[in-house]
Amino acid sequence: MSKRYVSLWFRHLLTDWYALRQPELKAIPFVFAAPTRGRMIITATNLPAQQQNIKVGMTAADAKAIVPELKVIDDIPGKAGKLLIALGEWCIRYTPIIAADLPDGLILDVSGCTHLWGGERAYLGNIVKVLRSKGYDVRAAMADTVGAAWANARYGKVKAIIGEGEHVEALLSMPPVALRIDPVIEERLQKLGLYTIKSFIGLSRSALRRRFGEDFLLRLNQALGNENEYLQPLQPIEPYHERLPCLEPIRTVGGIEIAIKTLLETLCKRLEGEGKGLRTGVLKYYRIDGISGEVSIGTNRATNHIEHLFKLFELNIQKIEPALGIDLFVLEAPKVDDVEPGQEVLWSQEGCSLEDNSLAELLDRLGNKIGAANIHRYLPQERYFPERSIRLAQSFQEKRLTVWRTDRPRPSLLLPRPERIEVTAPIPDYPPILFRYKGNVHYIKKADGPERIEREWWLETGEHRDYYYVEDAEGCRYWLFRSGHYDAERSQWFIHGFFA
């Protein structure tokens, strides 16, 4: 597939933007000017001013002498660049690869995109029509190279679309300045009588390099397609990226669901073919009113299962606000991992393990509904004190290095740190007969213990703990312990957990 580029030239970028905010100035000649060496130099003009021979580079005083009613406005440094970025981000609906072309243009790589609008003529016409409806005086051209498209947008007089392979012929009648060359080189060419590209294109490249320099030759070769010209996109393109332009604006939930399924089918087919699975997915949508938004999902394990991924996005559909309609959907997978093909079985086995995809999919749905930060997985570690014997797993796939202890009962809810309680105990090493916790008195009917847990002497010094498993009169069960040996005056009791 040959490359195709579009150049957009905003002939009065700054003044068009200002007129949109000050409509009363639209028919009045006005300019932007900035101080340079003690003089106010014009940096931008609107169409009425240009029609009266007011040009960029003139002094504001000379311009006022020509047009006394001319309005001069202080220039806004950096505003043109910001406007181009904003316009480029809006144009992302036409192609993912857009570069700013300072000071007044955009370059679009439209290779493989035009058929979605019914061909190149309809594609280019739609861009120009919408931008002009927004108040911007724009010219557009399409060609095989960036240089040819740029030249045709600014100096072409025949047709906006240069057919494939026709860019060299189209350039011949244009002036040298159409090659984006330095003004000094342009002036030198004019003095030599070289008024069109045709007049010097037949000269040897070594002669052109000696007379006009390497940069001139580079621009010429780029325009002719002899050297590649690389664009710096406004938004980096994700390696796994799918687009779905809509011929008619989408406003309904059903239409959004169809769009998501279509994008997932394309993306997952590619991921499956490359042995990859999605870990993070981002669905971006662009509305016809210029506003965009996005929703994202995450998975615990890499997957290319379309139905599962759709269910995750389905949980977020209510966050999408179509308003007047959505005309572009983009699905990106910024994070992917290798995925192992599942082993087929003749029958399902009872029980569930971490290797079971159904468990991973359940956790994905819960995580995307209540937040992944609210779901934790713990692993055992070789420590004595209960609060130190577990740790948070770093990932769903992380393997445990030791076994869970099952020879002694452990509470289903363990407090992050033990809390002090008041206890009445009959004699040493007997369980308490009652305890007070948060203002409530609990009378103990059943108890088991003690279970002594020592500190790791090689790490720290301190008292041991004697744990008791107790049940109160209401049937609630608790895990209590006494720190150190029994002492009527200095014994300290704590509650550490609750049993289900």
CATH code for the domain of 168: 3.30.70.270
290 with 439, same domain: the answer is: no
Q: Is residue 10 part of a domain?
A: yes
Residue 334, domain CATH: 3.30.1490.100
Whether residue 260 sits in one domain with residue 208: no
Q: What is the pLDDT of residue 285?
A: 92
- What is the number of structural domains in the chain? 3
pTM of this structure: 0.64
Asked if residue 20 belongs to a domain, the reply is yes
The verdict on 177 and 245 lying in the same domain is: no
Q: Are residues 3 and 133 in the same domain?
A: yes
Same domain, 277 and 184: no
Distance CA 327, CA 331 (A): 14
Q: So what's the pLDDT on residue 356?
A: 61
What 357-366 contacts at long range (C-beta under 8 Å, 24+ apart), as own/partner pairs, is 357/301, 357/303, 357/305, 360/299, 360/300, 360/301, 360/303, 360/396, 361/303, 361/305, 361/308, 363/300, 363/396, 364/297, 364/298, 364/299, 364/300, 364/303, 364/308, 364/312, 365/311, 365/312, 365/315
223 within some domain: yes
pLDDT string in tens for the chain (500-residue length): 578 999 999 999 999 999 999 999 989 999 999 999 889 999 999 999 999 999 999 999 999 999 999 999 999 999 999 999 999 999 988 998 999 999 999 999 999 888 878 899 999 999 999 999 999 999 999 999 999 999 999 999 889 999 999 999 999 999 999 999 999 999 999 999 999 999 999 888 888 998 899 999 999 999 999 998 989 899 887 788 898 888 788 999 999 999 999 999 999 999 988 889 998 999 999 988 878 899 999 888 888 889 989 999 988 898 999 988 998 899 999 999 888 665 444 344 555 555 566 766 677 777 767 776 777 777 888 888 888 888 878 776 677 777 887 778 889 888 988 999 998 887 767 888 999 999 899 999 999 988 999 888 877 888 889 999 999 999 999 999 998 887 756 678 999 999 97
* Same domain as 249, residue 183: no
> What's the length of the chain?
500
**Cα angle, residue 438 at apex, residues 437 and 439 outer, rounded to 5°:** 90
The verdict on residue 227 lying in a domain is: yes
Give the pLDDT confidence score for residue 353 in this predicted structure: 57
Name 330's bridge partners: 243, 284
pLDDT of residue 346: 38
Is the same domain home to 194 and 254? no
Model pLDDT, residue 391: 82
**Is 383 among the domain residues?**
no
Give me the domain span that covers residue 312. 241-338
Residue 317 resides in a domain:
yes
- The whole-number pLDDT of residue 343 equals 47
Same domain, 24 and 117: yes
Residues 233 and 305 both lie in one domain: no
Structural domain contains residue 21: yes
Which domain-ending residue is among 338, 361, 388? 338
Co-location of 232 and 283 in the same domain? no
Tokens 């169809």 correspond to what residue? 258
64 shares its domain with 198: yes
Looking at the structure, tell me whether residues 88 and 166 fall in a common domain: yes
